[in-house]
Chains A and B, each alone.
Chain A
Amino acid sequence: MDIFIQQLINGLVLGSMYALVALGYTMVYGIINLINFAHGEVLMVGALVSWTVVTALGDTGWPGWVLLSLSLVAAVLVCMALNVAIEKLAYRPLRNAPRLAPLITAMGMSLLLQTLAMILWKPDYKPYPILLPDEPYEFMGATINLVQILILGVTALTLAGLMALIHGTSLGRAMRATAENPKVAQLMGVRPDRVISATFMIGAALAALAGVMWAANYGSVQHTMGFLPGLKAFTAAVFGGIGNLGGAVVGGVLLGVIEALGAGYIGELTGDVLGSNYQDIFAFTVLILVLTLRPQGLLGERVADRA
């Protein structure tokens, strides 16, 4: 019980970030049936753009939270533009291509983004400045700091905002309709290209937010930082039920908690044969188990194959 609360908190924080990225995956998959392999890289770009802004404005003497907010706005804008451009240039022409083609393109895009980031920002790990007061607060025997509290809070707010968007606006309706049945939606006057672009933009904004959170929480940025979280967030989306927004959130948070608890207890559980450096395996094990035992995920529905 000693590390349980601590790991739980760490897991919830991690899970929040996974949830934000998982939403992007699940929305895109729900609408065009594509696993956007490059989505994790959007998180990375968001983090790096934020770092650039914060570093550039470092000498101005402005308070930390101002720098953080400005950099967040910059990250979101850049990532939204980037994602829309990627969709238009690389994925849209392949809408009707055999299913392997967009997958390969997405993988290529992921590699391209990482390489361009490596060229632009150089390969070294860069420390992310501490912008907010970081004294730890005591909570039930564990510690939590302001950044972590903010992550949990901002994520909750963002999710509420997203729900309002999806269920309360015409864009949200259009997105849901296109996800269900693109042809009929089109007949009803929905412009699929617009809806898809909007989906990519929203996904990008969420990923950029997650990127800034990640940088602030873990304190460093680098061009490879998005890849593994991206993969795990995808796992979370599948875990919760791909195409299901609630599932993405549940999956993300659960995966974060499982990973944190697992990393904390694995030494004990395996008699020190396996250490916490095996942490990455948890996500993949969950993925394999889910897809083997319950492929529709926790909240998804079975889709039968029509003859």
Chain B
Amino acid sequence: MNMVTDMGTLDTREPLLDVSGVGKRFGGVQALSEVGLRIQAGQVHGLIGPNGAGKTTFFNTITGLVPSDSGRFALAGRAYKPTAVHKVAEAGIARTFQNIRLFADMSALDNVRVGRHVRTRVGWWQAVLRTKAFVHEEMLIERDARALLDFVGLGDKALQTARTLSYGDQRRLEIARALATEPKLLALDEPAAGMNATEKLALRELIERIRQDGRAVLLIEHDVKLVMGLCDHVTVLDQGRVIASGTPAEVQRDPAVIAAYLGTGVHA
């Protein structure tokens, strides 16, 4: 089985991620109200909106980092309660972070190997006794990790310490690590932030390749060109609410979206 590309059998008529009615209040601020979206398998879904619209907060609610006050969540047709972060990852949603959260002192290869943890099973006593099962699984883990590094274009930097990688490489490493968990949905939080034009092109190609493997990608991004060129579907948030949802072309022409970005009158 090629771990990188095998998605198993999925009913592609059902949305892969179906979230609706998400609400979250922080103290006096209603950060999210009635937010929801649907993503199909193999789709790249963009989540855009002005700063402070609630995009990362939404990410945090679907991945369990922040408990939501309300909402219905379903992944691959099965409802899930995003209460435990690690269980969400186990169920099949993997994410990257806006501020890059790598395991800085570990090598690139080790970062990705940790990503394999959730899909591997050999216990510590077998590690201590160095059983055949242990040796075999370690070999598989290394093989899969290296394949992923190659997939994102970091194959030759496998042994480099993560903190010494360039910014763009660090972002790609984070994606490789997330892919290692065999997610059904890959949630990327501003993966192109701080990248130059060349790096963005490489990122776009990478996301295309990920999409071709049948995974769904949810993308928070500020780079309009990137979003429009890459996404099949875009949801626009402003001040915690969904103000538009549709194809990039539709959303681009939506007057509410234009108003939110350019501002008409006083904007809080």
Contacts and interface: CB of A to CB of B under 8 A. Distances in A.
A/B touching: CB–CB < 8 A? yes
Interface of A: 304, 307
Interface string B173-211: 000000000000000010000000000000000000000
B97 interface: yes
Given A307-B60, A307-B65, 9 more contacts: A304-B26, A304-B66, A307-B56, A307-B59, A307-B66, A307-B97, A307-B98, A307-B101, A307-B189
A141 B94 CA distance: 67
Q: What is the interface of chain A mostly: helix, strand, loop, or mixed?
A: loop
A307 B59 CA distance: 10
A63 B253 CA distance: 88
Contacts of A307: 56, 59-60, 65-66, 97-98, 101, 189
A232 B59 CA distance: 41
Nearest to A305: B65
Interface in B148-189: 189
Interface string B97-122: 11001000000000000000000000
A306 to B, nearest CB: 8
11 contacts: A304-B26, A304-B66, A307-B56, A307-B59, A307-B60, A307-B65, A307-B66, A307-B97, A307-B98, A307-B101, A307-B189
Contacts of A304: 26, 66
B196 to A, nearest CB: 25
A245 to B, nearest CB: 22
By size class, the interface of chain B is 10 to 19
Contacts of B98: 307
Closest 4 CB pairs of A and B: A307-B65, A307-B60, A307-B97, A307-B56
Interface string B73-106: 0000000000000000000000001100100000
A307 B97 CA distance: 7
A163 to B, nearest CB: 27
A237 B65 CA distance: 29
A262 to B, nearest CB: 36
Nearest to B104: A98
A304 B98 CA distance: 17
B156 to A, nearest CB: 28
Nearest to B56: A307
Contacts of B65: 307
Contacts of B26: 304
Contacts of B189: 307
B47 to A, nearest CB: 15
A304 B59 CA distance: 16
Nearest to B57: A307
Nearest to B101: A307
Nearest to B60: A307
Interface string B38-58: 000000000000000000100
A307 B61 CA distance: 11
A131 B65 CA distance: 60
A33 B48 CA distance: 35
Nearest to A301: B27
A75 B151 CA distance: 66
Contacts of B101: 307
A304 to B, nearest CB: 8
B103 to A, nearest CB: 14
Nearest to A302: B27
Contacts of B60: 307
A304 B65 CA distance: 11
A106 B180 CA distance: 40
A30 to B, nearest CB: 21
A307 B66 CA distance: 9
B45 to A, nearest CB: 19
A150 to B, nearest CB: 44
Nearest to B65: A307
Nearest to B189: A307
Contacts of B56: 307
A192 B195 CA distance: 33
A281 B26 CA distance: 38
A212 B185 CA distance: 64
A113 B142 CA distance: 50
B65 to A, nearest CB: 5
A183 to B, nearest CB: 16
Nearest to B59: A307
